[in-house]
Copies of this chain bind each other. A is one copy, B any other.
Amino acid sequence: MHVLVIGAAGMVGRKLVERIASDPGVLGFEIDRLTLADAVAPEVPEALLETAAAVIVDLADPKEAAKLIDVRPDVIFHLAAVVSGEAETDFEKGYAVNLDGSRALFEAIRHQGMQEPYHPRVVFASSVAVFGEPFPEKIGDTFFNTPLTSYGTQKAITELLLADYSRKGIFDGLGLRLPTICVRPGKPNKAASGFFSNILREPLSGIEAVLPVDESVRHWFASPRSAVGFLVHAARLDTSKVGPRRNLTMPGLSATVGEEIEALRRAGGEKAVKLIRREPDAAIRKIVSGWATDFDAQRAADLGFRAETDFDEIIRIHIEDELGGTLA
């Protein structure tokens, strides 16, 4: 079977590829070919050197999506996107990549299928940015999509296309609305959501981190390991159980910054907590106040998707997967 990962150089893409490298049977079939595509060259892990090839693609160019599909991959992970902030400031680029790029991919599959039967599984990484405030206390599975960013609009539109193309039998698609990934590995970045990870990752490594909001701020989380678990589960899922509603809010953990900090105290002690420097930032507080805080992701849970249930588990996973299993 041939697996294509579009967005393989991104954080979730790299984690997915690492998972395939360490557990080649994870998707439930033998992978004899793996194509790793992204706007920058994705890294090919040692263990995959024989089956995997890295490809640089510009999804804004419809011909490039067609080239990826020409070789008829059986399972396609579509994780590529211009991120929220950039899609908001560069209107044209956001639509060109996040909407037109996704549609070109779906159209390339349709054209392949017109030549010879072809019905790949497509797993699309969507986002809770398809929702816009005001929210109910918990956002249920039938709540409407009223995004308040162009990024969220592009994700919501791609979800609709994915459902229609699946309904028409063009491919077998699933859209997964991922929670905010925590603890994000790597360095602190400038994303407004960065502090949720920074205040755990940095102190656990003995480094100071800035907290720009109050401890009462609540948000929706899953670990990188869960994010990969969602993608793998979606690739293996019996979609006859899903029906025509192909886009699912993934399960997650609803927790406050205060709960994050208490879990940090249990894992790293008072010395870790002391590395959090409080620097209230009105701009970040305002952005974060518009984000969803809790979901009732019943359908995904019923279909077997699983996430963490407390921050102790999220921190334990970070220590296992990023810090070699123990704190220094």
Contact = CB atoms under 8 A, between A and B. Distances in A.
Interface string A122-146: 0000000000100010000011111
A33 interface: no
Contact of A164 (B147, B161, B168): B147
Interface residues of A, number: 22
Interface string A143-182: 1111110100100110011011001100000000000000
A148 B244 CA distance: 8
B153 A163 contact: yes
B164 A160 contact: no
A244 B132 contact: yes
Interface of A: 91, 132, 136, 142-148, 150, 153, 156-157, 160-161, 163-164, 167-168, 244-245
A168 B150 contact: yes
Contact of A157 (B142, B147, B150, B161): B161
30 contacts: A91-B168, A132-B244, A132-B245, A136-B142, A142-B143, A142-B144, A143-B144, A144-B144, A144-B145, A145-B145, A145-B160, A146-B163, A146-B244, A146-B245, A147-B160, A147-B163, A147-B164, A148-B167, A148-B244, A150-B164, A150-B168, A153-B160, A153-B161, A153-B163, A153-B164, A156-B160, A157-B157, A157-B160, A157-B161, A160-B160
Contacts of A167: 148
A245 B91 CA distance: 20
A93 to B, nearest CB: 14
A245 B133 CA distance: 10
Contacts of A163: 146-147, 153
Nearest to A110: B91
A132 B247 CA distance: 14
Contacts of A156: 160
A160 B159 CA distance: 12
Contacts of A160: 145, 147, 153, 156-157, 160
Nearest to A151: B164
A167 B133 CA distance: 14
